[in-house]
Amino acid sequence: MMTKTAWVFPGQGSQAIGMGIDLLELPEAMAKFEQAESILGWSVAEICQSQDDKVSHTLYTQPCLYVVESILADLLKATGQHPDYVAGHSLGEYSALYTSGVFSFEDGLRLIKRRAELMDSASDGMMAALLGFDRAQLEMAIEQTPDVVLANDNNAGQVVISGTPKAVEAILSQVKSKRAVRLNVSGAFHSPLMADAAAQFKTILDAVPFESAQIPVLSNVDPTPSTDPAVLKDRLNRQMTGTVRWREISLQLPQEGVDRVVEVGPGKVLTGIIKRTCPDLVLKTIGSLAELSS
């Protein structure tokens, strides 16, 4: 039986000072960094090296992660490796779509630039991560509290809620958890509070041509694999206001016969999350040149 592999791409929260800098010694990576600078008007390499953690500011985080992840995926392909499925967490879905040939590097980066600007300017909301909680209790509390939703369903014991500060605090006071962390983000991402930003984004998204995916994509709002460009665009369109259904994506992978998952991008956030849901999967991370050649 053939081994099936999925590549997964992390989103905001995986960025780190210095990420991607080792790639600068490769001419093909340098070309992408230069291309990115002409689209963004600023240097990804400079932001990633900035010691005051500029890379953690939404405006910069999203384009920087996309550029680094895209380069890593291209380098992996150049070594003859190809995934059977791709998926990305929130922002990472763009890297997954690029990797599967749905849009060009430039089109993807233009979308990300606008997405980052819109999300960065969406104020009035808050997000909080909960670890170790009673899911039935949480779901009931969310159902009974207006203006708060489950934003990221990462695994059985780790979720992120999103909504108005009042509603998020109400949930935190009602639901017992081992740990609750208020996230340092500008708005209530992946919630209906992003509707205005999503509507503005849709006009830009509609203008970008999508091709059929060469590799089936499992989307955040729908974990069923698809290669249909209209379906993939519709799912991406719903992503800004919809839940990141990562727990279901993780469960879907073994259903598709996947036994190996490679996290392409900085950090080990997704492998950590997936391990809890699917302990039998072989997990690997590729976040640097050293890991590429190992």
Dist. CA 76–CA 218, nearest whole Å: 20
Kindly name the residue from 14, 100, 190, 288 that is annotated as catalytic: 190
Q: Is 90 a catalytic residue?
A: yes
The alpha carbon torsion through 276, 277, 282, 284 (nearest 10 deg) reads -60
Q: Is 190 a catalytic residue?
A: yes
Contacts for 17 with CB less than 8 Å, ≥ 6 apart: 48, 49, 50, 51, 53, 55
Cβ-in-10-Å burial (0-12, 13-18, 19+) of 241 comes to: buried
The DSSP string of 110-123 is HHHHHHHHHHHT--
User: Could you tell me where the beta strands, DSSP code E, fall in the chain?
Assistant: 4-9, 85-88, 126-133, 148-155, 158-163, 177-182, 217-218, 258-264, 282-286
| Residues 221 and 238 sit within 8 Å (Cβ to Cβ) | yes
What would the two tokens of residue 201 be? 């984004």
The alpha carbon torsion through 248, 89, 133, 149 (nearest 10 deg) reads -90
Which helix H or strand E contains 61, and what residues bound it? helix 58-78
Contacts for 207 with CB less than 8 Å, ≥ 6 apart: none
Residue 7 forms beta bridges with which residues? 86, 262
Kindly name the residue from 14, 90, 95, 191 that is annotated as catalytic: 90
* Catalytic residue numbers, as ranges: 90, 190
